[in-house]
Amino acid sequence: MGSWNDFNDAQSNTNLIPKGTLAKVRLTIRPGGFDDAAQGWTGGYATRGSTGAVYLNGEFTVTEGQYARRKIFTLIGLYSPKGPDWANMGRSLVRGMLNSARGISDKDMSPEAQAARRISGFADLDGIEFIARIDIGTDASGDDKNEIRSAVTPDHRDYAAVMGAAPSLGLQQPAANTAPAPQPAAAPVPGRPAWAQ
């Protein structure tokens, strides 16, 4: 233990979850009060920024494991005056979240899978639990921060282990009860990095 008047040997407080970590998270949308019924943005969930961009202000809480209770703040893009890229990334993230939470393969195009990828409004996303791949981005000051840019679906070999790590307490999303159980994935390929499996 170090001295209380010399902090050179104290640990630095980077406090970041390592990039590529898979973790079960719960999304809480911090309401911004912006609605546009023509877009389907109702309930006050969306936020409109000073640039005119519209997004969901996401607070993702790790629900279990080594990083339990840690919070990751990520914006989910809905609209940008600069073009469609940000909204497309937001739609892709939400699709992944729904696939992950509801146990649907991204390749499944059955009517049931398509129905499970539909929401009646942003309220359906508030409280959703899924497996996220933790990333590292930069904040407005240029400092590193954790972000969530993608969800892990049942196609990933570690999905079942991460999704099923907690004992069932009957707190699942209603739609999760109708989804088929995830199938175990193939064994890892020797010599291939974990993220490429």
What H or E segment, with its residue span, contains residue 84?
none
User: What are the respective helix, strand and coil percentages of the chain, to the nearest 5?
Assistant: 20, 30, 50
Q: What is the pLDDT of residues 92-150, one digit of tens each?
A: 999 999 999 999 999 999 999 999 999 999 999 999 999 999 999 998 888 899 999 99
CB-facing half-sphere around the CA of 88: CA atoms within 13 A: 4
Over range 55-63, report the average pLDDT.
98
Q: Using the predicted structure, report yes or no on whether residue 172 has a pLDDT greater than 60.
A: no
Choose among 40, 84, 85, 72: nearest CA to 151: 72
Choose among 83, 114, 101, 87: nearest CA to 177: 101
The structure tokens 């390749």 sit at 107
Report percent pLDDT > 90 for the chain: 72
Phi, psi angle pair for 85, to nearest 5°: -60, -45
Domain boundaries, the chain: 22-165
Q: Using the predicted structure, report yes or no on whether residue 21 has a pLDDT greater than 80.
A: yes
